Amino acid sequence: MSICPRWIYNSNMQTPCDLWSALGAKCSPSFTPPTSPFDFQNFRPTDDACQCNMVAYNLMGGCAVCEECRVVIPGEWPTIAQWKESCKTTVFNNTLSESLSNGLLLPPWALQAPNGTTWQRAEASVNAARASSTATSSWTGFGSIGSSSSTNRHSDTLGMSIAIGWFTFIILLIVAKVICWCSVICFLVRQKRRVPAYRKMAAYYRANGAGTQVYLH
């Protein structure tokens, strides 16, 4: 029975052996992954599109980890170069075609080429953790889903709207004050211009006896 580390499963809890078997069956219905004890050094892939790719090679490494339930030492299984040697009539690809990947829910670590010459459990584990962290950061609160970039864009838009609102309010406040002061100044100027006219009118009325009150007893 296969015992795999948690990070090595896909989101449907399928093991690398399950996925490798499903991939291989697309080219050869009778294909089944080797079981424990896994003959690492002597195993070679079939010369077809389902095996001559980096994904199949990675799944092979993950399947070996599940079957053996231990850290596999480099040299106990074929290197990438040795895997490619079996692809004599088939071009080795780093990715899967759409027809081959269709229906397969591949874990992120299976899609990344190893940095060295051989698939490494530790490296794949780091890739799986990094992918999981990236996926988690894309979730926002209250059950909604969104990318961090869309969240940032939303925050930027909200911040810009608030800034525009405050700017508009300040402009309107300044305009209102200017109008108020202009009204006061205009009133004072009109009053200042009216004073000489009022004085002349008052002098005229006094000279002509206006304003004198006659009381009858």
Give the pLDDT means over successive 10-residue stretches in the chain (217 positions).
82 94 94 74 87 96 77 70 94 94 95 91 91 61 37 53 77 83 77 67 69 49
State the pLDDT at residue 186: 76
State the pLDDT at residue 32: 86
First to last CA, the chain: 134
For the chain, the domains span: 6-137, 162-209
State the pLDDT at residue 139: 40
Q: What residues have CB less than 8 Å from 123, skipping those under 6 apart?
A: 114, 115, 116
**Alpha-carbon span 90 to 87, nearest angstrom:** 5
Output the CA angle 107-113-118, nearest 5 degrees.
Answer: 110
142: its two tokens: 């209250």
**Alpha-carbon span 84 to 81, nearest angstrom:** 5
Output the CA angle 95-98-102, nearest 5 degrees.
Answer: 110
C-beta separation of 66 from 23 below 8 A:
no
C-beta separation of 73 from 25 below 8 A:
no
C-beta separation of 44 from 86 below 8 A:
yes
State the pLDDT at residue 107: 95
C-beta separation of 114 from 80 below 8 A:
yes
Residue type for position 132: S
Q: What is the DSSP letter of 143?
A: T
